[in-house]
Homo-oligomer: A and B are copies of this chain.
Amino acid sequence: MSLRYALLGLLADRPASGYDLLQRFKVSLANVWPATQSQIYTELTKLADAGSIAVSDEGPRGRKEYTITDAGLAEMREWLTTTKPKRVARNEMLLRVFFLGVVPQAYAREYLSGVETDTAKAEAQLAGLEATIDWEDNDLSVYGRIAMEWGKRFYAMNQEWAEWALTQIPER
């Protein structure tokens, strides 16, 4: 369901073809809401059928450019302002941490070191992505940067926590 709003949001910024949208997903939304080409194309067809977007141009080889309609824009605003995301309570990484006392201490140490290493990798990937983005001077960029900052802080927090957690493993 959220893919629908991600596409509406991108089209609220400017008209785009399915291919353009796929590229924007790869670059800017990959860390927030990954989607495959076929998911994107399926959702675009649904949105067009529902009147939330319209084909505003057709090019060679069946290339279609979509534009958001007033109805789509109203839908998007409704989603942003009146619905609340569910709080994500399930966390598989933490569930494992909870039970590390069941395995020998060396494994617990290895697991927490792994969390630290994986987070450092993810952090580096995000920094790499940030360096490649050609931020435009518009509202989408402002909020894209705000979202990216969350990711940076999230990874930094995870890394610091894992480092600290390693110091808490009982010495027996």
Copies in the complex: 2
Interface of A is mostly: helix
Quote the shortest CB–CB distance from A3 to chain B (angstroms). Answer: 9
Among A27-35, A37-45, A47-55, A59-67, which stretch is in contact with chain B? A27-35
Asked if A101 and B13 make an inter-chain contact with CB atoms under 8 angstroms apart, the answer reads: yes
Q: How does the 8 Å CB contact mask read for A72-93 relative to B, with 1 for contact and 0 for none?
A: 0100110111001111111111
Asked if A139 and B33 make an inter-chain contact with CB atoms under 8 angstroms apart, the answer reads: no
Contacts A5-B99, A31-B89, A92-B85; is A168 near B146 (CB within 8 Å)? Answer: yes
Question: Sorted from nearest, which 9 A-B pairs have the closest CB atoms?
Answer: A101-B139, A85-B92, A9-B99, A12-B102, A157-B157, A32-B94, A146-B165, A100-B143, A98-B147
Give me the interface of A with B, judged by CB distance under 8 Å.
Answer: 2, 5-6, 9, 12-13, 28-34, 73, 76-77, 79-81, 84-103, 107-108, 110-111, 114, 118, 122, 138-140, 142-147, 149-151, 153-154, 157-158, 160-161, 164-165, 168-170
